[in-house]
Amino acid sequence: MERSFKAEVAKLRLGAGQTFTGEGILAVTKALLQSGVSYVGGYQGAPVSHLMDVLADARELLDELGVHFEACGNEAGAAAMLGASINYPLRGAATWKSVVGTNVASDALSNLSSAGVVGGALIVIGEDYGEGASIIQERSHSFAQKSQIWLLDPRPNLPSIVRFVEKGFELSEASNTPVMLELRIRACHVHGSFETKDNVAPRHSRRNPIQKPVFSLERIPLPPANYTQEKHKIDVRLPEALKFIQREQLNEFFPGDLRQIGIILQGGMYNTTIRALQQFGLADPYGESRIPLYVLNVTYPLVPEEITRFCSGKRAVLVVEEGQPAHIEEAINSILRRADINDPHVIGKDVLPMAGEYTGEVVLNGLAAFLGLTLPDGVDLKAVEAVRASVEQAKTRAAELLGAPVPTRPPGFCIGCPERPVFTALKLIEKELGGIHISSDIGCHTFSTLQPFNLGNTVLGYGLSLAAASAMGPNFGKRIITVMGDGGFWHQGLTTGVANAVFRNDDGVLVIMQNGYTSATGTQNIPSSPDLSAKEGSPIAIESTLRGLGVKWLERVPNYQVADVADALRRAMTTEQKGLKVIIADGEWRTRFGIDDDVCTGDRACIRLSGCPSLTIKDSPDPLRSEPVTTINSGCVGCGLCGEAAHAAALCPSFHRIEVIQNPTGWDRFMHGIRQGVIGALSGVGAASTPRSQPRNDRGVDAAPTREAR
Amino acid sequence: MTRPITILVAALGGEGGGVLADWLIEAALHEGFPTQKTSIPGVSQRTGATTYYVEIYPEKDARPPVMALVPSPGSIDLMAASELVEAGRAMQNAFITPERTTLVASTHRIFATSEKMVPSDGRYDAQKILEAAPKVAQKAVLFDMSRMAQEAGTVINAVLFGAMAGSGALPLSRAACEAAIRGAGKGAEASLRGFAAGFEHAVSTLPGDRADHASPPLPPGERAGVRGNEQDTLTPTLSLPGRGSESDRIRREFPEPLHALLEQGVARLADYQDVAYADLYLDRMRGVLAVDREAGGEAGGWKLTQEAARLLALWMSYEDTIRVADLKTRASRFARVRKEAAAKDGQIVVVTDYLKPSANEIADILPPAWAARLRRNAGAGRAVKLRTSDVSGFLAMRLMAAMKPLRRRSARFIEEQALIERWLGAIKRLGFAVLDAELSLEIVLCAKLVRGYGETWRKSHAAFVKILDTLVENEQAVARGADALRVAIRKAREAALAYEEAKPSAATAKGKPVIWMKQG
Can you give the residue ranges of every domain in chain B? 5-228, 234-317, 321-409, 411-505
Question: Using only C-alpha atoms, what is the Rg of chain A?
Answer: 30
Nearest residue to A137 (alpha-carbon basis) of B8, B518, B86: B518
- Between chains, do A657 and B351 touch, taking CB under 8 Å as contact? yes
Nearest residue to A544 (alpha-carbon basis) of A585, A496, A584: A584
Average pLDDT value for residue range A605-628 = 90
| Entry pTM | 0.88
- Between chains, do B157 and A594 touch, taking CB under 8 Å as contact? no
Q: Is A570 on the interface with B (CB under 8 A)?
A: no
Q: Is 3.90.226.30 the CATH number for A252-402?
A: no
Q: Which fold has domain B5-228?
A: Pyruvate-ferredoxin Oxidoreductase; domain 3 (3.40.920)
Average pLDDT value for residue range B292-300 = 88
- Between chains, do A391 and B74 touch, taking CB under 8 Å as contact? yes
Which top CATH class is A420-586?
alpha beta
Q: Is B245 on the interface with A (CB under 8 A)?
A: no
- Between chains, do B89 and A608 touch, taking CB under 8 Å as contact? no
- Between chains, do A390 and B74 touch, taking CB under 8 Å as contact? yes
Q: Is B37 on the interface with A (CB under 8 A)?
A: yes
Which residues, 6 or more positions from B181, have their beta carbon under 8 angstroms from its beta carbon?
B23, B158, B161, B188, B191, B192, B195
- Between chains, do B91 and A415 touch, taking CB under 8 Å as contact? no
Q: For residues B481 and B438, what is the distance between their CA atoms, to the nearest angstrom? A: 13
How far does the CA of residue A690 sit from the closest CA of chain B (Å)? 8
Interface of B with A in 51-70 (CB under 8 A): 57, 63, 65-70
- Confidence band (pLDDT; 50, 70, 90) for B70? very high
Helix axes B156-166, B145-152, angle to 10 degrees: 110
Whether the CA torsion B169, B173, B176, B182 is positive or negative: it is positive
Q: For residues A480 and A615, what is the distance between their CA atoms, to the nearest angstrom? A: 31
Query: H or E stretch including A180?
Result: strand A179-184
- Confidence band (pLDDT; 50, 70, 90) for B46? low
Nearest chain A residue to B350, by CA: A659
Q: Is A709 on the interface with B (CB under 8 A)?
A: yes
- Confidence band (pLDDT; 50, 70, 90) for A698? very low
How far is the CA of B126 from the CAs of B106, B111, B113, B223, B502, in angstroms? 12, 11, 15, 8, 20
Q: For residues A49 and A34, what is the distance between their CA atoms, to the nearest angstrom? A: 20
- Confidence band (pLDDT; 50, 70, 90) for B63? confident
Order of strands across the sheet that contains A509-513: A458-459, A438-440, A481-485, A509-513, A581-586, A553-558
When the pLDDT of each residue in chain A is averaged and rounded to a whole number, the result is: 91
List the single residue in B92, B112, B155 with the smallest CB-CB distance to A399: B92
> Start-end ranges of CATH 3.40.50.970 in chain A?
6-246, 420-586
Average pLDDT value for residue range B291-302 = 89
- Check pLDDT > 70 for residue A590: no
Per the CB < 8 A criterion, the answer to whether B258 and B306 are in contact is: yes
Q: Is A451 on the interface with B (CB under 8 A)?
A: yes
Average pLDDT value for residue range A402-406 = 95
pLDDT for B42: 59
Q: Which residue pairs from B174-181 have beta carbons closer than 8 angstroms and sit at least 24 positions apart in sequence?
A: B174/B199, B176/B27, B176/B28, B176/B30, B176/B31, B177/B23, B177/B27, B179/B26, B179/B27, B179/B30, B180/B22, B180/B23, B180/B24, B180/B25, B180/B26, B180/B27, B180/B30, B181/B23
List the single residue in B13, B121, B398 with the smallest CB-CB distance to A411: B13
Q: Is A361 on the interface with B (CB under 8 A)?
A: yes
List the single residue in A592, A596, A696 with the smallest CB-CB distance to B328: A596
pLDDT for B281: 97
Q: Is B433 on the interface with A (CB under 8 A)?
A: no
Q: For residues B393 and B135, what is the distance between their CA atoms, to the nearest angstrom? A: 57
Q: For residues A601 and B454, what is the distance between their CA atoms, to the nearest angstrom? A: 12
Nearest chain A residue to B508, by CA: A408
pLDDT for B380: 61
- Check pLDDT > 60 for residue B295: yes
Q: How many whole angstroms from its chain centre is CA A526? A: 17
Q: Is A138 on the interface with B (CB under 8 A)?
A: no
Order of strands across the sheet that contains A39-42: A68-71, A39-42, A92-98, A121-127, A179-184, A150-152, A298-300
pLDDT for B43: 56
pLDDT for A587: 72
Nearest residue to A418 (alpha-carbon basis) of A522, A517, A513, A529: A513
How far does the CA of residue B59 sit from the closest CA of chain A (Å)? 12
Q: For residues B197 and B150, what is the distance between their CA atoms, to the nearest angstrom? A: 11
Lowest mean pLDDT among A107-121, B262-276, B324-338: B324-338
State pLDDT tens for residues A501-533. Answer: 999 999 999 999 998 888 778 778 889 888 776
Q: For residues A706 and A662, what is the distance between their CA atoms, to the nearest angstrom? A: 19
How far is the CA of B66 from the CAs of A244, B3, B57, in angstroms? 27, 10, 10
List the single residue in A415, A618, A691 with the smallest CB-CB distance to B346: A691
Q: For residues B367 and B354, what is the distance between their CA atoms, to the nearest angstrom? A: 26
- Check pLDDT > 70 for residue A686: no
Phi, psi angles (nearest 5°) of residue B310: -65, -55
pLDDT for A206: 86
pLDDT for B508: 42
Q: Is A286 on the interface with B (CB under 8 A)?
A: yes
Q: Residue B96: helix, strand or coil by DSSP?
A: coil
- Check pLDDT > 50 for residue A106: yes
pLDDT for A1: 40
Query: Highest mean pLDDT: which of A372-386, A588-602, A667-681, B448-462?
Result: A372-386
List the single residue in B63, B187, B502 with the smallest CB-CB distance to A708: B187
State pLDDT tens for residues A287-317. Answer: 999 999 999 999 999 999 999 999 999 999 9
Q: For residues A31 and B116, what is the distance between their CA atoms, to the nearest angstrom? A: 48
- Between chains, do A624 and B313 touch, taking CB under 8 Å as contact? yes
pLDDT for A531: 74
List the single residue in B65, B136, B355 with the smallest CB-CB distance to A653: B355
A-B contacts (CB, under 8 Å): 479
- Chain A residues with CB-CB distance to B149 below 8 A: 705-706
- Between chains, do B73 and A361 touch, taking CB under 8 Å as contact? yes
Lowest mean pLDDT among A437-451, A532-546, B312-326: A532-546
Q: Is A665 on the interface with B (CB under 8 A)?
A: no
Q: For residues A247 and A243, what is the distance between their CA atoms, to the nearest angstrom? A: 6
- Check pLDDT > 80 for residue B291: yes
CB count in 10 Å sphere of residue A16: 10
Which residues, 6 or more positions from B494, have their beta carbon under 8 angstroms from its beta carbon?
none
- ipTM attached to this prediction: 0.91
State pLDDT tens for residues B177-209. Answer: 999 999 987 789 999 999 999 999 999 987 654
Q: For residues B328 and A256, what is the distance between their CA atoms, to the nearest angstrom? A: 77
Average pLDDT value for residue range A455-464 = 96
- Check pLDDT > 80 for residue A704: no
Q: For residues A620 and A630, what is the distance between their CA atoms, to the nearest angstrom? A: 9
Q: Which fold has domain A6-246?
A: Rossmann fold (3.40.50)
Q: Which residues, listed in sequence order, are joined to residue A644 by a DSSP beta bridge?
A: none
Per the CB < 8 A criterion, the answer to whether A442 and A513 are in contact is: no
Q: For residues B323 and A650, what is the distance between their CA atoms, to the nearest angstrom? A: 18
When the pLDDT of each residue in chain B is averaged and rounded to a whole number, the result is: 85
Residue A187 burial (10 A CB sphere; 0-12, 13-18, 19+)? buried
- Between chains, do A401 and B45 touch, taking CB under 8 Å as contact? no
CB count in 10 Å sphere of residue B143: 21
Order of strands across the sheet that contains B384-387: A592-595, A655-661, B348-355, B384-387
- Confidence band (pLDDT; 50, 70, 90) for B219? very low
> Start-end ranges of CATH 3.40.50.920 in chain A?
252-402
Q: Which residues, listed in sequence order, are joined to residue A375 by a DSSP beta bridge?
A: none
Q: Where are the alpha helices (DSSP H) in B402-473?
A: 411-434, 437-445, 454-467
DSSP A446: G
Average pLDDT value for residue range B250-266 = 94
- Check pLDDT > 80 for residue A344: yes
State pLDDT tens for residues A411-459. Answer: 888 888 889 999 999 999 999 999 999 999 999 899 999 989 999 999 9
Query: H or E stretch including B316?
Result: helix B303-316
Residues in chain B: 520
Which residues, 6 or more positions from A185, have their beta carbon under 8 angstroms from its beta carbon?
A46, A47, A126, A127, A128, A129, A130, A131, A132, A133, B40, B42
Nearest residue to A101 (alpha-carbon basis) of A51, A56, A167, A170: A51
How far is the CA of A47 from the CAs of A1, A33, A55, A128, B49, in angstroms? 16, 20, 15, 7, 18
Q: Is A191 on the interface with B (CB under 8 A)?
A: yes
Residues in chain A: 710
| Comparison of pLDDT for B514 and A671, the residue scoring more | A671
Interface of B with A in 307-346 (CB under 8 A): 310, 313-314, 319, 321, 324, 327-335, 337-338, 340-346
Which residues, 6 or more positions from B266, have their beta carbon under 8 angstroms from its beta carbon?
B243, B246, B247, B250, B278, B281, B282
- Chain B residues with CB-CB distance to A621 below 8 A: 229-232
Interface of B with A in 118-137 (CB under 8 A): 118-121, 123-125, 128-129, 131-132, 135-136
Average pLDDT value for residue range A177-196 = 96
pLDDT for A588: 63
Which residues, 6 or more positions from B486, have their beta carbon under 8 angstroms from its beta carbon?
B436, B438, B439, B442
- Between chains, do B112 and A409 touch, taking CB under 8 Å as contact? yes
Q: How many whole angstroms from its chain centre is CA A161? A: 20
How far is the CA of A312 from the CAs of A22, A260, A261, A298, A589, in angstroms? 41, 10, 10, 21, 70
Average pLDDT value for residue range B292-315 = 92
- Check pLDDT > 50 for residue B448: yes
Which residues, 6 or more positions from A146, have their beta carbon under 8 angstroms from its beta carbon?
none
Q: Is A399 on the interface with B (CB under 8 A)?
A: yes
State pLDDT tens for residues A202-243. Answer: 999 988 999 999 999 999 999 999 999 999 999 999 999 999
pLDDT for B514: 39
- Between chains, do B502 and A186 touch, taking CB under 8 Å as contact? no
Q: Is B103 on the interface with A (CB under 8 A)?
A: no
- Check pLDDT > 70 for residue B488: yes
Lowest mean pLDDT among A427-441, A599-613, B225-239, B385-399: B225-239
Per the CB < 8 A criterion, the answer to whether A344 and A263 are in contact is: no
- Check pLDDT > 60 for residue B225: no
Nearest residue to A584 (alpha-carbon basis) of A546, A544, A557: A557
